[in-house]
């Protein structure tokens, strides 16, 4: 049962941390909770569908279907996170100074929140479908009773949600003045890490060359499967043995989003 | 001119993709990998064909190889790795970590 709990925790962690950070970043946008729940629900429903379709997805594109699917999901998430950060670069200052809400128009806020809902749905979908498959395998393979699988799954899920809630609570302690800079930086690194993961899937399917591999090897110092390594992997895209292509994608996503944020930032004299 | 360059690039890319035809088979049965030690050549790209003969899904995962792929029950998956430096690269099945363990030896 604890083995099941650990795996479910590991799978839940990424989506939960992302959700915690995004919830903090979207604080004071009216209607936030509704969109968060919408994204979460869509993601959960989607993960059941994806889990049921795993075999068909895997067989697509000469067996590279799973990698392409993952790469596409990650690619869209990177775009949405980038859009969010650029949007916040424009409106964050006003939101911070007026403390509560006041997004110029509800319409604009809605578009921003729908981007956020999509990111959450995709994160939950990716991790959730793997969790469903794993628990299904456990329950049907006789490795565990159904009750054991459910209990283990619930325990892991609670752990993951606690981690997400923890980062959310922690972020809310930051004064509003700095909150959006902190969440903006976190989301920037998250998005860059996802772009790196996207490249990794395309390399795995032989759709992209790996380049120099590994570009560096820090697996002796900080392995990705250690507690700190896996948290850093989720948060900033840390890799112990990345390929050059993976880091190229990381760097390009980072620069593109940073550039967009800079470009969108309102002129100084407007913010006062 | 541009087109010629592009065509050349595409040709180079496809020939690269097909040049390394080294295929190696792994079988998952009863949540174990067979063979549990697989020797592959170092310094070139290698194609792993993993066949899951169990009825339940498995996730092939390796931190050393930087790979992860879900393999549904009763199906085959292709995973490209390398070019690898000589050495040992452990892998495991994340869904059955206790029994599903193996190592790729590049030499």
**Prior bond to A254 cis, omega within 30?**
no
Chain B, residues 66-95, CB within 8 A of chain A, namely: 66-67, 69-73, 75-80, 82-84, 94-95
Q: Is the ipTM, as predicted for this complex, more than 0.90?
A: no
Q: Is the pLDDT of residue B62 over 80?
A: yes
Q: How is residue B63 written in tokens?
A: 């931190």
The whole-number average pLDDT for the span A96-122 is 75
In a domain? residue A226: yes
- Predicted confidence at residue B68, as pLDDT, reads 93
In a domain? residue A185: yes
Instruction: Establish if A230 touches chain B: CB-CB under 8 angstroms.
Output: no
What CATH code is assigned to B21-106? 2.60.40.420
In a domain? residue A113: yes
In a domain? residue A189: yes
The DSSP code sequence of A51-113 is HHTHHHHHHHHHHTHHHHHHHHHHHHHHHHHHHHHHHHHHHHHHHHHT-S---S-HHHHHHHH
Instruction: Please answer yes or no on whether B94 and A137 come within 8 Å at the CB atom.
Output: no
The residues pairing with B88 across neighbouring beta strands, listed in sequence order, are B105
Q: Is the pLDDT of residue A37 over 80?
A: yes
In a domain? residue A271: no
Give how many domains chain A has, as a whole number.
1
Pick the residue from chain B with its C-alpha nearest to A127. B70
Tell me what percent of the residues of chain A surpass a pLDDT of 90. 63
What residues of A are in contact with residue B67 (Cβ under 8 Å)?
204
Domain containing A216 equals: 2-266
Instruction: Please answer yes or no on whether A58 and B45 come within 8 Å at the CB atom.
Output: no
CB A4 within 8 A of CB A144: yes
- Predicted confidence at residue A213, as pLDDT, reads 86
Q: Which of A62, A205, A214 sits opposite B80 (nearest CB)?
A: A205
A189-237 pLDDT per residue, tens: 999 999 999 999 999 999 999 999 899 999 999 999 898 998 899 899 9
Q: Can you tell me the distance from the alpha carbon of A100 to that of B16, in angstroms, rounded to the nearest whole number?
A: 57
Instruction: Please answer yes or no on whether A219 and B45 come within 8 Å at the CB atom.
Output: no
- Predicted confidence at residue A272, as pLDDT, reads 39
In a domain? residue A272: no
In a domain? residue A193: yes
Radius of gyration for the alpha carbons in chain A, expressed in angstroms and rounded: 19
Give the mean pLDDT of chain B: 85
Instruction: Establish if A140 touches chain B: CB-CB under 8 angstroms.
Output: yes
């Amino acid at each position: 049962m604890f083995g099941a709990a650990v795996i479910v925790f590991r799978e839940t962690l990424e989506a939960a941390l992302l959700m915690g950070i995004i919830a903090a970043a979207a604080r004071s946008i009216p209607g936030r909770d509704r969109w968060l729940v919408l994204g979460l629900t869509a993601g959960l429903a989607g993960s059941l569908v994806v889990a049921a379709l795993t075999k068909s997805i895997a067989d697509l594109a000469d067996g590279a279907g799973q990698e392409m699917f993952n790469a596409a999901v990650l690619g869209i998430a990177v775009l949405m996170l980038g859009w969010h950060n650029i949007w916040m670069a424009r409106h964050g200052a006003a939101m911070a100074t007026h403390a509560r809400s006041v997004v110029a128009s509800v319409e604009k806020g809605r578009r921003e929140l729908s981007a956020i809902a999509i990111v959450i749905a995709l994160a939950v979908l990716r991790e959730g479908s793997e969790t469903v498959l794993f628990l299904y395998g456990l329950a049907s393979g006789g490795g565990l009773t159904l009750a054991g699988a459910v209990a283990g799954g619930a325990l892991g899920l609670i752990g993951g949600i606690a981690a997400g809630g923890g980062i959310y609570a922690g972020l809310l302690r930051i004064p509003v003045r700095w909150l959006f800079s902190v969440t903006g930086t976190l989301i920037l690194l998250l998005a860059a890490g996802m772009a790196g993961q996207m490249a990794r899937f395309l390399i795995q399917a032989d759709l992209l060359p790996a380049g120099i591999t590994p570009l560096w090897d820090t697996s002796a110092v900080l392995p990705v499967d250690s507690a700190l390594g896996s948290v850093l992997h989720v948060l900033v895209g840390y890799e112990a043995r990345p390929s050059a292509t993976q880091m190229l994608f990381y760097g390009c996503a980072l620069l593109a989003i940073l550039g967009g944020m800079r470009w969108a930032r309102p002129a100084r004299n407007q913010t006062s | 001119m541009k087109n010629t360059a592009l065509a050349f690039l595409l040709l180079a890319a496809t020939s690269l993709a097909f040049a390394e035809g080294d295929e190696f088979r792994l079988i998952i049965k009863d949540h174990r990998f067979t063979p549990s030690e697989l020797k592959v050549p170092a310094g070139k790209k290698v194609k792993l064909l993993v066949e899951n003969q169990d009825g339940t899904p498995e996730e092939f995962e390796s931190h050393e190889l930087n790979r992860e792929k879900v393999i549904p029950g009763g199906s085959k998956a292709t995973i490209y790795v390398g070019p690898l430096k000589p050495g040992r690269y452990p892998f495991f099945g994340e869904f059955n970590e206790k029994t599903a363990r193996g190592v790729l030896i590049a030499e």
